[in-house]
Structure 1
Amino acid sequence: MRAYNKSRIVGQLLFVALGITFIYYLLTPSVHQSDAVKPQIRKANTDSIIVYDMNEITASANAREKKEEVLILTPIARFYPEYWGNLLRLSYPRNLITLGFIVPSSRDGTKVHRELKAAVQAVQRGPVSQRFADVKIMIQDSGLSSGQSETQRHKLEVQKERRSKLASARNTLLFSALGPKTSWVLWLDSDIVETPADLIDDMTSLDKDVLVANCYQRQGEKVVPYDFNSWIDSEPAKELASKMSKDEILLEGYREFATFRTLMAYSYDEHADKRTLMKLDGVGTTALMVKAAVHRDGAVFPTFPFYHLIESEGFAKMASRLKYDIYGLPNYLVFHYNE
């Protein structure tokens, strides 16, 4: 009986203790944020500041020897394995190359992104000596479709809108990927499937502000001109432009525009020196080497009619207005995919 009473007394004491504890927490005000223990604020690490002396960034005829960094930029709406294979055959040291891509955020773009990412990972997870310095992939709703055929893409009536969207994608890619140590920017279209392996060495060795290769296409045993955006201006073209409204663009390679410009595409001589230079007023971007300083100085791809030019041809006009020289290599061929 005494054991029973003892157990009952202990139980009653525990019940009273729990009750007192409950009333205490019920009546005690909650702790304010100002009364709580504050996390320590870490001082900024001044060692994390990186200073770049832009005066030391060179773009010279001795790019390889001076270890000048090259940024290869490609808007990509369709993944061509042949483009990637050709890119991997370039002989310039990969530790000096950064790749930049912009892919449309669409159903087609998802497939392109998956294919591109797999190709990139196969290289970047391989031997360190074979890896690129960096690879950047941008995804943006550019409005560019990968489902169009070559004929549809080149219809005159879609050129202004299409090339405006392409110019916008190029600018986004450029602004996002250009680094403070970049010396050269190589614009290489995603449907360029064959170039000389020494493309970067060859083009940088000529030490030009803007330099474009001649883009052809293989058709069986023949090679035929493909890109007509690299040209020398003419008086008839200037006269045509003078009669246009400010929102119109003058395009090359269409019967509707009798420009009589000298087209680099038709200046190819297979027996002549590949290093022959041709001063130009307009350029294409199939394989376009640009000193990074030209872009940093403000030469970009106009998304609107700029002196009646747009995108790559507008870029050439902008660069020339900034007093940079524009050149082409009429006998130096790169090849476009043949659909």
Structure 2
Amino acid sequence: MFVHKPLRLVVPLLVLIGFLWLIIGSSHETKPNSPYKYKKIKKNDVIPRNLPADHISHYDLNKLASTPMAAYNKERVLILTPMAKFLDEYWDNLLKLTYPRELIELGFIVPRTADGDAALRKLETAVKKIQNPKNTKDTKFAKVTILRQDTEALDSQSEKDRHAFKVQKQRRSQMAVARNSLLFTTIGPYTSWVLWLDGDIVETPPTLIQDLVSHDKPVIAANCYQRYYDEEKKQDAIRPYDFNNWVESEEGLRIASTMGDDEIIVEAYAELATYRPLMGHFYDPNGDVNTEMQLDGVGGTCLLVKADVHRDGAMFPSFPFYHLIETEGCAKMAKRLGYEVFGLPNYLVYHYNE
């Protein structure tokens, strides 16, 4: 009888030890090849984006910064371009930007028009070439997103037709919807800056991003000009192009006060003279390129926005917002949210000349 008693004690004890070993062992990291590998995350770390799909990613937006030393701090920049036509000069200029490509994401939205179909084919060809898996990490962009516009767009995208006064409300409303679709689809919890760069911008300084972020402003616009040949003087010349960068005027406020709720003010048209000071007219060829001026309205040809401004609600109204729409309405929203809006009158970028 006494011989079996030790076994009666030992067997349950061994079972209990084995059960505890299984529990403790299962809490440790699995084999390296396991799809359910648990990766230890240090406190305050951002969970890497390359974990399996069944994991939950955590991003602490309190630690996301938009600083004047963006490249040094490895801040992500999202370049967004509504593209009705694909211009080789736009793409070539984009590839000349010196901001690290592994920190740049690109986003495009292309209308469902004949021109849009042609632009899409050319854009995809250009993107596939630069994003080729054989290319090194520093030559490829971090991510490229191309959207097809699911709303209407003007049939004619010629400069004359799209800038006609009578189509401005329709055109700007369509553009606002396209910009919002592009923004809301592509902005991520790791995006620090959003650079709006029109597909018609064919020449900028290579240091465009570094130059704009160095001002550390919530919203800041470059001065968009256009190169052309002056037939009278028989020489190359430049002229202002984007007149949506402006300072509010008393006349502008007066006109707005007489308008109905659904009416908008569009700038630089003789049919509606506001006498607003336009940044395009403040260019000084001998002035400091870092000169800043406060603005009330902005265009979208070359506009840098801190991502938090968009996250806080500054989007592109497709409806009259204080009688403003699209980019100018976005500037108004930003100011209503407490952000300041600036422009650089002596810092030029150039629009394609049709």
Where on the TM-score scale, by shorter chain, does this alignment land: which range?
Answer: 0.7 to 0.9
Aligned with 2:297 (options 278, 282, 290): 282
Match of 1:39 in 2: none
Find out whether 1:188 has 2:197 as its counterpart: yes
Structure 1 residue 143, shift from structure 2 partner: 1.8
Structure 1 residue 181, shift from structure 2 partner: 0.2
TM value normalised by structure 1: 0.85
Structure 1 residue 146, shift from structure 2 partner: 6.4
Residue identity in the other structure for 1:266: H
Task: Structure 2 unaligned segments of length 5 or more: list them.
Answer: 1-35, 37-51, 230-235
Q: Which structure: larger Rg? A: 1
Q: Whole-Å Cα distance in 2 between the matches of residues 46 and 263 of structure 1?
A: 50
1:60-209 matches, within 5 Å, as: 60-125=67-132, 126-145=135-154, 147-209=156-218
Structure 1 residue 109, shift from structure 2 partner: 2.1
Moved over 4 A (4+): none
Structure 1 residue 258, shift from structure 2 partner: 1.7
Q: Whole-Å Cα distance in 2 between the matches of residues 261 and 199 of structure 1?
A: 27
Q: Whole-Å Cα distance in 2 between the matches of residues 99 and 192 of structure 1?
A: 15
Q: Secondary structure at the match of 2:109?
A: strand
Residue identity in the other structure for 1:96: L
1:167-316 matches, within 5 Å, as: 167-220=176-229, 221-316=236-331
Q: Whole-Å Cα distance in 2 between the matches of residues 144 and 269 of structure 1?
A: 36
Match of 1:25 in 2: none
Q: Secondary structure at the match of 2:174?
A: helix
Structure 1 residue 140, shift from structure 2 partner: 2.0
Q: Which whole-Å deviations, capped at 9, do the CAs of 1:312-339 have from their partners, x for residues lacking one?
A: 0000000000000000000000000000
Aligned with 2:58 (options 45, 51, 61): 51
Structure 1 residue 107, shift from structure 2 partner: 3.3
Task: Structure 1 unaligned segments of length 5 or more: list them.
Answer: 1-41
Q: Which whole-Å deviations, capped at 9, do the CAs of 1:129-181 have from their partners, x for residues lacking one?
A: 20000000111233224643201110010000000000000000000000110
Aligned residue pairs total 297
Residues 233 and 261, structure 1, Cα contact 8 Å, conserved in 2 = yes
Residues 113 and 155, structure 2, Cα contact 8 Å, conserved in 1 = no
Structure 1 residue 112, shift from structure 2 partner: 1.3
Match of 1:326 in 2: 341
Residue identity in the other structure for 2:305: V
Residue identity in the other structure for 2:281: Y
Structure 1 residue 47, shift from structure 2 partner: 6.4
TM value normalised by structure 2: 0.82
